[in-house]
Amino acid sequence: MDIFKIPWPWYIAGPLIGLTVPALLLLGNKPFGISSSLRHICAACFPANLPFFSYNWRDEIWNLLFVLGILIGGYIGGVLLENPDDIVIASHTREVLSGLKINDFSGLLPLDLFSTENILSAKGLVFLVAGGFLVGFGTRYAGGCTSGHAIMGLSNLQWPSLVATICFMASGILTTFYIIPVLLKFLL
């Protein structure tokens, strides 16, 4: 059972994730893309007569079941078969983050930022609310995320997806080096 608890190397996990592309195509001619699920939830729950949400979301219910599955899989992998050890990351990253007063390296996310007690604090406002808003707004504006553009789009050799991938990688790198240290300095 140990193999289901310890972290998997990239050369096992990456190809398995890549196989999702043909699996979805062969099952029902579905393109791999996860951020669309957020749009379908909007279309199902609060379409507000907006043209962008006026389509038959029921035809895309497979996508909602897929992300529900991701949640269940997260529970199985992260709770039932939780890695008992601290997360192992590059020592340099750990040193930098420790220097920025991140103390909790026990799980997948630092509880210094992502604990439920922080929801109503400034930390929550920045790392949960503002961050989440940018993920939702940005992926929809871009027409896709890491799965739809980086994996599905690049797999299908689409140059607009390459543009998108370069843009969100560059922006993430700049945010990590220049914005996050400032945020952590003020919030921790």
Partner 1 sequence: MAFQYSNDLGESDEFVRHKPYTSARNSTGLNFVYLLLGTLFGFIFVKAEIVSWFRIQEMFRFDSFHMYGVIGSAVVVGALSVQIIKRLKLKAFNGETISIAPKTFNKGQIYGSLLFGIGWAITGACPGPLFAQIGAGYLAVTVTLLSALLGTWVYGYVRHRLPH
Which residue in 52, 85, 122, 182 binds partner 1 (CB under 8 A)? 52
Regarding 187 and contact with partner 1 (CB under 8 A), the answer is: no
Regarding 176 and contact with partner 1 (CB under 8 A), the answer is: yes
Q: Which is nearer to partner 1, 107 or 185 (CB)?
A: 107
Regarding 119 and contact with partner 1 (CB under 8 A), the answer is: yes
DSSP string covering 79-130, please? IIT---SPP---HHHHHHHHHTT----SSSS-HHHHSGGGTTSHHHIIIIII
Which residue in 129, 182, 185, 186 binds partner 1 (CB under 8 A)? 129
CB of 86 to partner 1, least distance (A): 10
CA 124 from centroid of its chain's CA atoms = 17
Regarding 168 and contact with partner 1 (CB under 8 A), the answer is: yes
CA 177 from centroid of its chain's CA atoms = 19
CA distance 127 to 112: 11
**Residue partners of 184: CB distance under 8 A and separation at least 6:** 100, 101, 102
- Draw the binding track, 84-103, toward partner 1 (x: CB under 8 A; -: no contact): ---x-xx-xx--xx------
Q: Which is nearer to partner 1, 172 or 188 (CB)?
A: 172
